[in-house]
A and B are shown apart, each in its own frame.
Chain A
Amino acid sequence: DAKTTQPPSMDCAEGRAANLPCNHSTISGNEYVYWYRQIHSQGPQYIIHGLKNNETNEMASLIITEDRKSSTLILPHATLRDTAVYYCIVRASNTGNQFYFGTGTSLTVIP
């Protein structure tokens, strides 16, 4: 599975959009980009995933560059409850395989 690079920490003002970048320059054609987050010591929470098209759901939007070497997770209106560690994971879609969690980006939403 391809390695990802994320900034270790970011701040965002409450109510503003939070844009979390991820580099995955070695991504393969069959690998998806997944985003999870972990609030304090709770279980990782699935946010969104995509292959090559931009995706949006009720939680966030995922923008994947055309060459697929990087992506951005967008939380459109950050709240204090969005303070968490955000993990960008690239993985082939083989059911039953593990997710490799890196160190992620620690997002702090500031009032």
Chain B
Amino acid sequence: EVQLVESGGGLVQPGGSLRLSCTASGISVSRNYMSWVRQAPGKGLEWVSVSYSGGTTHYADSVKGRFTISTHNSKDTLYLQMNSLRPEDTAVYYCARVRGLPGEFDYWGQGTLVIVSS
């Protein structure tokens, strides 16, 4: 059974940093394409970033230059380093497995809430 478990969310001040983690079981992070998707309170879904095996990454314009996606293959963990956080980054952040290249999100974590506020 595939499980994705996010952690690391919390309250942070504008301009601050936070690192989210997504630990996978049942699949290998190093052999899959993994993504982050966020959802602001009461709003729709927004794709944030994707990491392909071998290191290729892509970002939404809204986070480019501030967020960095990475993997720790031996720990089967996906990360999202978020710097220079803004109030508009407040959202539930989901990690998801991307099936195929490109492809749909077939497995999702339960999400972790990030609140950017003073």
Co-complex (A, B): no
Q: Which residues of A contact B (CB under 8 A)?
A: none
Q: Which residues of B contact A (CB under 8 A)?
A: none
